[in-house]
Amino acid sequence: MADGYNLCIAVIGSGTIGLSFAALHLSHPSKNIKVIIYDPRPDLNEYIESTLPGYLNATSPSLSSLRASNRLVLSSSLVSAVESADVVQEQGPENVSFKQSLWPQIEAAASPSALFWSSTSGIPASIQGANMQAPYRLLIVHPFNPPHIMPVLEIVPPDQHASKAYIDKTVSYWRTLNRNPVILKEEITGFVANRLSFALFREAIHLVNQGVVTAEEVDRIVEESMGPRWAVKGPFWSYHAGGGEKGLSGFLDKIGETVQACWDDAGTPELRDGEDGKEAAWRKALGEQVEGAYGVLQERDLRERDEKTRSVLEITRGD
Amino acid sequence: MADGYNLCIAVIGSGTIGLSFAALHLSHPSKNIKVIIYDPRPDLNEYIESTLPGYLNATSPSLSSLRASNRLVLSSSLVSAVESADVVQEQGPENVSFKQSLWPQIEAAASPSALFWSSTSGIPASIQGANMQAPYRLLIVHPFNPPHIMPVLEIVPPDQHASKAYIDKTVSYWRTLNRNPVILKEEITGFVANRLSFALFREAIHLVNQGVVTAEEVDRIVEESMGPRWAVKGPFWSYHAGGGEKGLSGFLDKIGETVQACWDDAGTPELRDGEDGKEAAWRKALGEQVEGAYGVLQERDLRERDEKTRSVLEITRGD
């Protein structure tokens, strides 16, 4: 509680995820969330002035008004950013030793009741918090990019030290922002959303690599079949529906043989170098194909994608 | 060309795919497509009267008016259904010997210039057409269910006999219905859309089976991350965007290690029976979990899904 605001959130790191989360907190319906953005970059002020407005929604106060009312504060000092915070949300470099050295500094400077969240895309809380006094305070809050638009958040507590009270407080806050936190029961590699996405991506790479379809054709197929289907109803619901009265079991009875045949025939491209030390040949060819199809994407392409995504979610969630 | 209509399509089989395709043809903007539904079931008349209206769109003429004007004809004779047809579209039982015996009958009765399409979810054209005189006439036109809503169609010609003229005519017709036909370059098991979908489904089963998340949580995660993302932009575009200026290659440079770690750790549940001859234990548990979460889905659940899907596609395709 600072400056009369209900909650103060220190956002550590101002890359695209940090900016997106900052904008999301500032959009809180209570208008009573203070955000401190910490980043050691020397041009922090100019950088935030030029980038953050792109993330704020249309009804948000202007950046200058947010700053004048201290609802948004920029800081180049980690200690002063976190000492008054109720929540510290980290999105620094994806590097184990960086995070293991950062968290004890945050823990030493922050209030004993502050919540600690990491947006890491892959480093589990139990590893990040190895040097903390109270590692149970640290939770992964993993977004799907960009978090100011995508509702789901994967909450992954450290396997050995989960604290129900910290998880409950975290979940409550996100629900007030109309987000959908899902608590994973295990600290699994890559968490859930990326594992699912990468499984499809792997098969997509294989099919392009085999010459069955182009990368652009894969995108068209997905955009006009699974994408809209799964935006409305996820895979289990959908296959449950596909089985009629017998549900998912009926579906597996009916076309399980085809499913198994596809699994047996699925490709296994590798990203690691081959035994000869060479990069996999498909990487270069695929990169060139995608570059040829789409060119270098511009800011406006991403904005258009984000606007459409927002409209889709209004339909599917009734937002 | 029959009865003054521009094109006559014989729909062989009146299951959900057949009805959905019939409704789609009847929605053609030219209002000039005649549809003959063939099915040997004795209650064909009552069955179509009670089911087809659920597939017709709001602006369609009534069933009785479609029938009175001969725009829709029901037939229990295969020969009379196909003899005047410009297109024969088959969605009979998923059974090789059934299809291998059906196509020569159709070929013998139909006009020499008629197009032949199969909606099979897995039996390649070169196998179905093994007993045909002119197997190059047969194309797989594989929809994503339900085809009166989902725009994409996978066109899969027989590997050895593809005829460009037949493919071109087929593609042209579907484009007049604002569909998006994608021509596969190989008769691959399961075609493309299902292979991609089943790859994600496999990993989803694994994660539920491991107890990391419930089936319902998987659905929520997908509905609020990949689903809306891929409805707007497919996986290659999305990861290309994720790599910034360096595109897909930059994305793979940046988080390829996490991608590979997820691939290495991916699960491989099997649908076939184990070496002990027993059904995999996860099938029963998963079926019960999904049944417990969603119950038996009703007609209105599917209609609601279809209406939302239609609205999503209006946004993503600008329909």
Distance from CA of B89 to the nearest CA of A (A): 21
DSSP-assigned beta bridge partners for residue A138: A116
Question: Minimal Cα distance from A253: which residue of B?
Answer: B271
Preceding amide of A146 cis, omega within 30:
yes
pLDDT of residue A285: 94
Chain B within 8 Å of A6 (Cβ-Cβ)? no
List pLDDT tens digits, range A168-206.
999 999 999 999 999 999 999 999 999 999 999 999 999
Which residue in A221, A263, A309 is closest to B182 by CB distance?
Answer: A221
Chain B within 8 Å of A93 (Cβ-Cβ)? no
Q: Do B235 and A223 touch (CB under 8 A)?
A: no
Average of per-residue pLDDT across A288-313: 96
Residue A24 identity (one-letter amino acid): L
> CA A83: distance to chain centroid?
26
CB-based burial of residue B76 (10 Å sphere; 0-12 exposed, 13-18 middle, 19+ buried)? middle
Which residue in B190, B212, B219 is closest to A258 by CB distance?
Answer: B190
> Is residue A312's pLDDT more than 50?
yes
Q: Please state which of the ranges A106-110, B279-283, B291-295 shows the lowest mean pLDDT.
A: B279-283
Average of per-residue pLDDT across A242-250: 94
Residue B106 CA to residue B77 CA, distance in Å, equals 11
Interface test with A, best of B273, B289, B315, B319 (most A CBs within 10 A): B315
* Chain A residues with beta carbon closer than 8 angstroms to that of B315: 308, 311-312, 315
Residue B2 binned pLDDT confidence (cut-offs 50, 70, 90): low
Distance from CA of A80 to the nearest CA of B (A): 31
> Is residue B281's pLDDT more than 90?
no
Q: What is the CATH number of domain A7-183?
A: 3.40.50.720
Interface test with A, best of B217, B257, B260, B303 (most A CBs within 10 A): B217
Between the CA of residue A253 and those of A247, A249, B169, B317, what are the distances in Å? 10, 6, 36, 34
Average of per-residue pLDDT across B201-209: 98
8 Å CB contact between A76 and A39: yes
Between the CA of residue A67 and those of A40, A73, A228, B223, what are the distances in Å? 19, 6, 39, 35
> Is residue A279's pLDDT more than 90?
no
pLDDT of residue A263: 97
pLDDT of residue B160: 76
Which residue in A229, A256, A302 is closest to B241 by CB distance?
Answer: A302
Eight-state DSSP code of residue B4:
T
Chain B within 8 Å of A167 (Cβ-Cβ)? no
Average of per-residue pLDDT across A272-276: 82
**Assign residue B191 a region: left if phi > 0, alpha if psi is -120 to 50, beta otherwise?**
left
CA-angle at B229, arms to B226 and B232, nearest 5° = 145
For residues B121 and B87, the model is more confident at B87
Tell me the DSSP string of A2-37: BTTBSEEEEEE--SHHHHHHHHHHHT-TTS-EEEEE
Residue A249 identity (one-letter amino acid): S
Chain A within 8 Å of B232 (Cβ-Cβ)? yes
Average of per-residue pLDDT across B31-56: 96
Q: Do A184 and B290 touch (CB under 8 A)?
A: no
pLDDT of residue B293: 97
Chain B within 8 Å of A253 (Cβ-Cβ)? no
Q: Do A308 and B315 touch (CB under 8 A)?
A: yes
Q: Do A260 and B271 touch (CB under 8 A)?
A: yes
Eight-state DSSP code of residue B15:
S
Residue B161 binned pLDDT confidence (cut-offs 50, 70, 90): confident
Instruction: Give the 3-state secondary structure of residue B223.
Output: helix
Distance from CA of B127 to the nearest CA of A (A): 15
Question: Minimal Cα distance from A123: which residue of B?
Answer: B258
Which residue in A203, A216, A237 is closest to B196 by CB distance?
Answer: A203
pLDDT of residue B1: 47
What average pLDDT does chain B have?
95
Neighbours of B299 (CB within 10 A): 8
Contact partners, residue B262, CB within 8 Å, separation at least 6? A189, A190, A194, A195, A198, A199
Which residue in A180, A240, A286 is closest to B290 by CB distance?
Answer: A240
Interface test with B, best of A148, A249, A263 (most B CBs within 10 A): A263
